[in-house]
Amino acid sequence: VCNGATYVNIHMVKNKKDGSRMLLIEDNGGGMDPDKMRQCMSLGYSLKSKVADTIGQYGNGFKTSTMRLGADVIVFSRCSGKDGKRPTQSIGLLSYTFLMITGKEDIVVPM
């Protein structure tokens, strides 16, 4: 947990459509702007890549850990505007289900 979070809530919730279980994780951190969200969702990106023998140096942790828990992850993030930037809201999606259904590898979302 980083970016100023002082608490994290983790809940197991049931999907009303099919009864499957989901993890809902919430925190009160500063959030990610769109660039940080893109980096978080990109395989191999890491701010720690130049630091040897540390967790996170390869940029695979978030992606591989979420896919081991389930087929899909949706990340919603709000980032307050810092250093003169405006506040942003971002959504990130990693979905094996979507990949299998559509056969797509990339989705372009107009900004």
CA distances from 71 to 11, 44, 61 (A): 18, 19, 15
Cα–Cα distance for residue pair 92/77, rounded to 1 Å: 8
Residue ranges covered by each domain of the chain = 1-29, 31-102
Q: What pLDDT is attached to residue 1? A: 55
| 14-49 pLDDT, tens digit each | 999 999 999 999 999 989 888 888 888 877 666 665
Of the candidates 3, 22, 16, the residue with the CA atom closest to the CA atom of residue 72: 22
| 60-71 pLDDT, tens digit each | 667 677 777 788
Report how far Cα 78 is from the mean position of its chain's Cα atoms: 12
